[in-house]
């Protein structure tokens, strides 16, 4: 079957936006069935185009799928049935994998070591997210004399962070050094090797240089930094990371005025003139996805929610430059030219130090080796999704160790 | 009696209105559910569109008035996440919670009441102290911790019982023990103090003087009267079980109203959370009223008063 989509102008991100590689994701649904039964009934009994057929949903317990019997372009599943169990408590999930009541369970970094000690295979999926810190309203006139308005000061704050320590002690070794904001090893149309080299140097730990830069910028004794520590849903470890970097900043003379926010309270602060965030640094994150432009647009466009470079009433040089490059990127069909444009967009933002990656996080799964054979996850995709049909039986492909 | 029931119903109505008001406003202090549903790169327009679609636009007062006027017609709103009437979602899960509550109550009574009697009969001695220790442990042990430890021991290490979810009889054992542990302590302590009071009564002395056997004196005459205050507590305990099952159901992935409450809080599903709390309040008020009526029939002195 071929689906033909007509657009008014080039929409290079459309294939990714319609896939499950990015959020929000689109999905193609059968029009005749949808219109015949209506949205509510479609929700209860959905029909899709994948190799699994929906069987039933037991509210609060599980969703059942059955493998299709005809050949499928994504591959026929090795298992006849797939049950997605809804188990909110992580300890119970791990217990169920250990007893064999479940084959696979998603876990947090804190549980990785104990899952391994319990005899389970732990699969890590690289590039699922970046934990970052970013500066709000640094372009607003009300904070024009604040130290955080200076790119070199922001760079100094980055140099004061020992990312290896955070990876080892906060993330139990299950994280990686980051690349520039929203870029990963699998990012499309980007010079990923170049950016790996760049970030190995740029994101190094150098507190002596950090203090030197602060002195050169007129802050030999540091300054007061307002810092909002918050964790987005599903990544509670961001709070520990935020606490760790705040402590590291104190070692270069920064007096950190840290405020903890529960996620529910944070997004409204990004609305309007951002009075409670202007001049503040805050923890934030980005999800792993193959396309860079959309995430940059969401953070830096003057009409975006975050508006980190300027807004529609006040878009200065860097903000205008970003808009110019962004517009060129999304309209560029030549892959090589698009790569060059993406690289220049990343460079523009990286040089500003307005959003600074701290670590590149991973997704983690505990696996019962007797229930499912070895499989590889897709980098950047936290949920297993279409990996399910590729999972072999344990005797087909046993785990190596 | 009818006057008493009418007064209690009126009081219950006032309590319900207060509960509805408090839960409506307190829930909205925790943030907007749209922020949990949207990715971090959603635009301001996306957010506004979703807020309007969820009916969360407009002032809080306007939303409250809309909520109350719908509630008076029996409509407690639609779950934001499940897109179903909140009452229907609650009622679909209630039987699962009611399936474990009687067993937890029975366990607590079967263990707690005899323990209380034994403790009272051996007041100040080793058995009394042992029973007291069990009671303290039962009250002090967090159900979250107890549930996880039971799973570790009986499911993971011994492989005797399943780790969670609803299923056959073997699935009930660990959640019932976890839920009943706290109640066992309460029943034991109340039975003990009630028995101690009754053992000093004149009619007990008379029963002994008449030559009745000690077991008849204790189990027929004393216990019957000692159980009257326990009956009162029974109503409170059932209420505690209904509300307190949140932790147990979450740990054991039991698809009851307790876990539904947890999910409604996590996802800020305001209509569902409001409906759950209001309906639970109705349930508890009803149970307490029934217990009070039973109490009046069991104890003639209450009826006379």
Q: What is the pLDDT of residues A298-321, one digit of tens each?
A: 899 999 989 999 999 999 999 999
Check: CB of residue A277 under 8 Å from CB of residue A266: no
Q: Which residues of B touch A92 (CB under 8 A)?
A: 148, 151, 163-164, 251-253
Q: Which residues of A touch B40 (CB under 8 A)?
A: 232, 284-287, 298
| C-alpha–C-alpha distance, residues A323 and A272, integer Å | 21
Structure confidence at residue A184 (pLDDT): 95
- Banded pLDDT at B45 (limits 50, 70, 90): confident
The beta-carbon neighbor of B262 closest among A88, A98, A295 is A88
The set of residues, in sequence order, having a beta carbon less than 8 Å from that of B108 and lying 6+ positions away, is B180, B183, B184, B186, B187, B237
Question: Considering only A219-223, B90-94, B235-239, which range has the smallest mean pLDDT?
Answer: B235-239
Structure confidence at residue B103 (pLDDT): 94
Structure confidence at residue B288 (pLDDT): 81
Structure confidence at residue B55 (pLDDT): 76
Q: Which residue of A20, A89, A111, A289 to mutate against B (max B Cβ within 10 Å)? A: A89
What are A122-139's pLDDT values in tens digits?
A: 999 999 999 999 999 999
The beta-carbon neighbor of A95 closest among B156, B259, B268 is B156
What are A318-335's pLDDT values in tens digits?
A: 999 999 999 999 889 899
Q: Are strands A355-367 and A121-135 parallel, antiparallel or unpaired?
A: antiparallel
Q: Which residue of B37, B50, B154, B163 to mutate against A (max A Cβ within 10 Å)? A: B163
Average pLDDT, chain A: 92
Q: What is the mean pLDDT of residues A222-250?
A: 95
Question: Considering only A57-71, A94-108, B49-63, which range has the smallest mean pLDDT?
Answer: B49-63
| C-alpha–C-alpha distance, residues A341 and A360, integer Å | 23
| C-alpha–C-alpha distance, residues A8 and B56, integer Å | 33
Most trustworthy range by pLDDT among B59-63, B69-73, B211-215, B245-249: B245-249
Structure confidence at residue A223 (pLDDT): 97
- Using CB atoms and an 8 Å cut-off, which of residues 235-274 of chain A contact chain B? 262-268, 271
Number of residues assigned to chain A: 401
- Banded pLDDT at A21 (limits 50, 70, 90): low
Check: CB of residue B245 under 8 Å from CB of residue B97: yes
Structure confidence at residue B298 (pLDDT): 65
Q: Which of A179, A189, A197, A200 is nearest to A127 (CA)?
A: A179
Q: What are phi and psi of A200, to 5 degrees?
A: -55, -35
Structure confidence at residue B86 (pLDDT): 93
β partners of residue B113: none
The set of residues, in sequence order, having a beta carbon less than 8 Å from that of A2 and lying 6+ positions away, is none
- Banded pLDDT at A355 (limits 50, 70, 90): very high
Q: What is the mean pLDDT of residues A345-369?
A: 96
What are B110-159's pLDDT values in tens digits?
A: 999 999 999 999 988 998 999 888 888 888 899 999 999 999 999 999 99
Q: Which of B103, B247, B113 is nearest to B185 (CA)?
A: B113
The beta-carbon neighbor of A24 closest among B30, B39, B82 is B39
Structure confidence at residue B300 (pLDDT): 64
Tokens of B20: 């509805």
State how far residue B52 is from chain A, nearest Cα, in angstroms.
15
CB contact under 8 A, A284 and B162: no
A95, pLDDT greater than 90: yes
Q: What share of chain B is helix, strand, coil (3-state, %, to 5)?
A: 80, 0, 20
The set of residues, in sequence order, having a beta carbon less than 8 Å from that of B35 and lying 6+ positions away, is A263, A264, A266, A267, A268, B47
Report the residue of chain B nearest A294, measured CA to CA.
B41
B31, pLDDT greater than 80: no
Of residues B68 and A102, more confidence is placed in: A102
Q: What is the mean pLDDT of residues A258-264?
A: 91
Of residues A18 and A199, more confidence is placed in: A199
Structure confidence at residue B135 (pLDDT): 83
Percentage of chain A modeled with pLDDT above 70: 97
Structure confidence at residue A20 (pLDDT): 67
Q: What angle do CA A294, A300, A302 make, to 5 degrees?
A: 110
Q: What is the mean pLDDT of residues A152-176?
A: 95
CB contact under 8 A, B35 and A284: no
Q: Which residues of A touch B43 (CB under 8 A)?
A: 298, 303-305
Structure confidence at residue A306 (pLDDT): 92
The beta-carbon neighbor of A92 closest among B83, B93, B251 is B251
A24, pLDDT greater than 70: no
The beta-carbon neighbor of A43 closest among B83, B93, B159 is B83
Structure confidence at residue B67 (pLDDT): 85
Structure confidence at residue B208 (pLDDT): 82
- DSSP SS3 for B33: coil
State how far residue B237 is from chain A, nearest Cα, in angstroms.
25
Structure confidence at residue B222 (pLDDT): 81
What are B247-263's pLDDT values in tens digits?
A: 999 999 999 999 999 99
A22, pLDDT greater than 70: no
A250, pLDDT greater than 80: yes
Percentage of chain A modeled with pLDDT above 90: 73
**The model's pTM:** 0.85
Q: Is A84 on the interface with B (CB under 8 A)?
A: no
Chain B residues within 8 Å of chain A (Cβ atoms):
30-32, 35-36, 38-44, 47, 82-83, 89, 92-93, 96, 148, 151-152, 155-156, 159, 162-166, 250-253, 255-256, 259-260, 262-263, 268
- Does the CA dihedral A294-A299-A304-A309 come out positive or negative? negative
A158, pLDDT greater than 70: yes
B29, pLDDT greater than 90: no
Structure confidence at residue A25 (pLDDT): 61
Q: What is the mean pLDDT of residues A137-158?
A: 96
B305, pLDDT greater than 60: no
Task: Report ipTM (2 d.p.).
Answer: 0.84
- Banded pLDDT at A386 (limits 50, 70, 90): confident
Most trustworthy range by pLDDT among A17-21, B174-178, B179-183: B174-178
Average pLDDT, chain B: 86
The beta-carbon neighbor of B92 closest among A40, A59, A233 is A59
User: What is the secondary structure of A84-110 as a DSSP string?
Assistant: EE----HHHHHHHHHHTS-SEEEE-GG
Q: How many CB pairs under 8 A join A and B?
A: 115
B39, pLDDT greater than 80: no
- DSSP SS3 for A129: strand
User: What is the secondary structure of A161-224 as a DSSP string?
Assistant: --HHHIIIIISTT--B---STT--TT-SSS-HHHHHHHHHHHT---HHHHHHHHHHTT-TT--E
State how far residue A215 is from chain B, nearest Cα, in angstroms.
35
Of residues B228 and A108, more confidence is placed in: A108
Structure confidence at residue B183 (pLDDT): 86
Structure confidence at residue A345 (pLDDT): 97
The beta-carbon neighbor of B83 closest among A40, A61, A95 is A40
- Banded pLDDT at A1 (limits 50, 70, 90): low
What are B266-296's pLDDT values in tens digits?
A: 888 888 998 999 998 888 888 888 877 777 7
Q: Which of B35, B73, B29, B75 is nearest to B54 (CA)?
A: B35
CB contact under 8 A, A60 and B250: no
Q: Which of B266, B288, B249, B263 is nearest to B86 (CA)?
A: B263
Structure confidence at residue B255 (pLDDT): 95
CB contact under 8 A, B30 and A59: no
State how far residue A22 is from chain B, nearest Cα, in angstroms.
10
The beta-carbon neighbor of A92 closest among B31, B163, B260 is B163
Neighbours of B103 (CB within 10 A): 17
């Amino acid at each position: 079957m071929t689906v033909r989509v007509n657009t008014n102008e080039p929409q290079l991100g459309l294939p990714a936006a319609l896939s499950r590689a990015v959020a929000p994701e689109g999905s193609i649904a059968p029009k005749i069935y949808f219109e015949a039964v209506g949205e509510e009934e479609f929700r209860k009994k959905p029909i899709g185009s994948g190799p699994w057929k929906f069987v039933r949903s037991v509210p609060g317990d599980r969703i059942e799928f059955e493998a299709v019997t005809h050949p499928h372009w994504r591959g026929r599943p090795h298992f006849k049935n797939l049950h997605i169990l809804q188990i909110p408590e992580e300890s119970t999930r791990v217990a169920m994998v250990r007893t064999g009541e479940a084959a696979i369970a998603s876990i947090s970094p804190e549980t990785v070591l104990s899952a391994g000690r319990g005899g389970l295979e732990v699969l890590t999926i690289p590039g699922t997210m970046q934990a970052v810190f970013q500066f709000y309203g640094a372009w607003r006139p009300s904070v024009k004399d604040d130290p955080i308005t200076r790119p070199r000061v922001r760079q100094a704050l980055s140099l004061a962070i020992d990312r290896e320590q955070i990876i080892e002690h906060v993330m139990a070794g299950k994280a990686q050094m980051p690349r520039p904001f929203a870029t990963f090893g699998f990012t499309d149309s980007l010079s990923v090797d170049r950016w790996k080299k760049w970030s190995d140097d740029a994101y190094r730990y150098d507190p002596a240089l950090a203090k030197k830069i602060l002195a050169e910028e007129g802050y030999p004794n540091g300054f007061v930094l307002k810092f909002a520590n918050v964790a987005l849903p599903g990544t509670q470890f961001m709070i520990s990371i935020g606490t760790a970097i705040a402590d590291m900043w104190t070692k270069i003379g920064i007096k950190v005025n840290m405020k903890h926010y529960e996620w529910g309270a944070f997004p409204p602060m990004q609305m309007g003139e951002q009075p409670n965030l202007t001049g503040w640094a805050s923890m934030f994150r980005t999800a792993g996805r193959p396309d860079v432009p959309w995430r940059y647009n969401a953070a830096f466009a003057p009409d975006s929610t975050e508006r980190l470079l300027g807004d529609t009433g006040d878009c200065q040089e860097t903000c205008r430059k970003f808009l110019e490059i962004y517009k060129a990127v999304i309209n560029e069909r030549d892959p090589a030219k698009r790569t060059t444009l993406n690289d220049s967009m990343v460079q523009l933002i990286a040089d500003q130090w307005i959003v600074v990656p701290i670590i590149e996080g991973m997704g983690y799964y505990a696996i019962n080796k007797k229930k499912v054979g070895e499989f590889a996850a897709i980098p950047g995709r936290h949920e297993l999704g279409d990996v399910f049909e590729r999972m072999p039986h344990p005797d087909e492909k046993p785990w190596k160790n | 009696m009818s006057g008493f029931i009418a007064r209690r119903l009126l009081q219950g109505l006032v309590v319900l209105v207060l509960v509805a008001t408090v839960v409506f406003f307190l829930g909205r202090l925790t943030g907007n559910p749209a922020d949990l549903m949207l990715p971090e790169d959603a635009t301001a327009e996306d957010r506004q569109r979703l807020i309007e679609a969820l009916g969360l636009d407009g002032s809080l007062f306007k939303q409250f008035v809309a909520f109350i006027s719908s509630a008076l017609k029996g409509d407690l709103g639609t779950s934001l996440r499940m897109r179903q009437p909140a009452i229907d979602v609650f009622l679909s899960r209630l039987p699962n919670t009611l399936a474990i509550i009687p067993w937890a109550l029975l366990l607590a009574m079967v263990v707690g009441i005899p323990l209380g009697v034994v403790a009272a009969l051996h007041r100040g001695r080793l058995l009394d102290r042992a029973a007291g220790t069990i009671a303290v442990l039962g009250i002090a042990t967090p159900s979250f911790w107890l549930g996880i430890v039971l799973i570790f021991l009986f499911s993971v290490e011994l492989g005797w019982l399943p780790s969670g979810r609803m299923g056959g009889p073997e699935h009930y054992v660990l959640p019932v023990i976890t839920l009943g542990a706290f109640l066992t302590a309460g029943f034991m302590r109340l039975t003990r103090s009630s028995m101690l009071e009754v053992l000093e009564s004149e009619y007990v002395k008379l029963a002994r003087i008449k030559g009745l056997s000690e077991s008849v004196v204790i189990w027929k005459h004393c216990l019957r009267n000692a159980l009257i205050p326990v009956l009162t507590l029974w109503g409170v305990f059932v209420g505690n079980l209904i509300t307190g099952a949140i932790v147990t159901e979450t740990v054991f992935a039991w698809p009851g109203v307790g876990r539904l409450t947890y999910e409604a809080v996590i996802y800020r599903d305001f209509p569902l959370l409001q409906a759950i709390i209001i309906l639970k309040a109705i349930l508890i008020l009803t149970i307490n009223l029934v217990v009070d009526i039973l109490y009046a029939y069991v104890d003639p002195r209450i009826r006379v008063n």
